[in-house]
Amino acid sequence: DAEITQSPRHKITETGRQVTLACHQTWNHNNMFWYRQDLGHGLRLIHYSYGVQDTNKGEVSDGYSVSRSNTEDLPLTLESAASSQTSVYFCASSETGVPTYNEQFFGPGTRLTVL
C-alpha cells in the first residue's frame, strides 16, 4: 500500500543546531507540503513543492528550508533551531490535476523539542 512516512518520530535538539526532518511518500504525488501544528493555531504551511526542483514558501517559512531532488522526498531543514520551533511537524502529499477538491495525505508527524 502507498504511504507517507516521517522520520524521526521524536527529536530533541539544542538551540542553534541544524536539524533535518525527513518525509518520504510512495504515492508518486507531485505535490508535497510541510506544516507545523501548534495549540490554538491548527496547522500552518511552512513550505511546499509542486514537483522536482520546485519549492515555495508558505506562511511561516522563516528559519526553514526544503529541497526537492526526487518525487518521493521533501526533507525539511531548520538552519539554526530556536525554541520557538518546538512543535509537531506534519508532511503531506497530494496528486496533481484540477486543483479543486484535492485531498492531501498526511504522515504520522514528528515531534520536535528545541531546548
Partner 1 sequence: AQSVTQLDSHVSVSEGTPVLLRCNYSSSYSPSLFWYVQHPNKGLQLLLKYTSAATLVKGINGFEAEFKKSETSFHLTKPSAHMSDAAEYFCVVQLSGTYKYIFGTGTRLKVLA
Residues that bind partner 1 (CB under 8 A): 31, 33, 35, 40-45, 48, 50, 58, 90, 92, 94, 96, 99-104, 106-109
Enumerate residues 6+ apart whose C-beta is below 8 A from 74.
23, 32, 34, 47, 49, 66, 67, 68, 91
Beta carbon nearer to partner 1, 77 or 105: 105
Nearer to partner 1, 58 or 63 (CB): 58
- Joined together, the cell numbers standing for residue 104 give 492531501
Closest approach of Cβ 36 to partner 1, in Å? 11
CB of 43 to partner 1, least distance (A): 4
Secondary structure class of 37 (helix, strand, coil):
strand
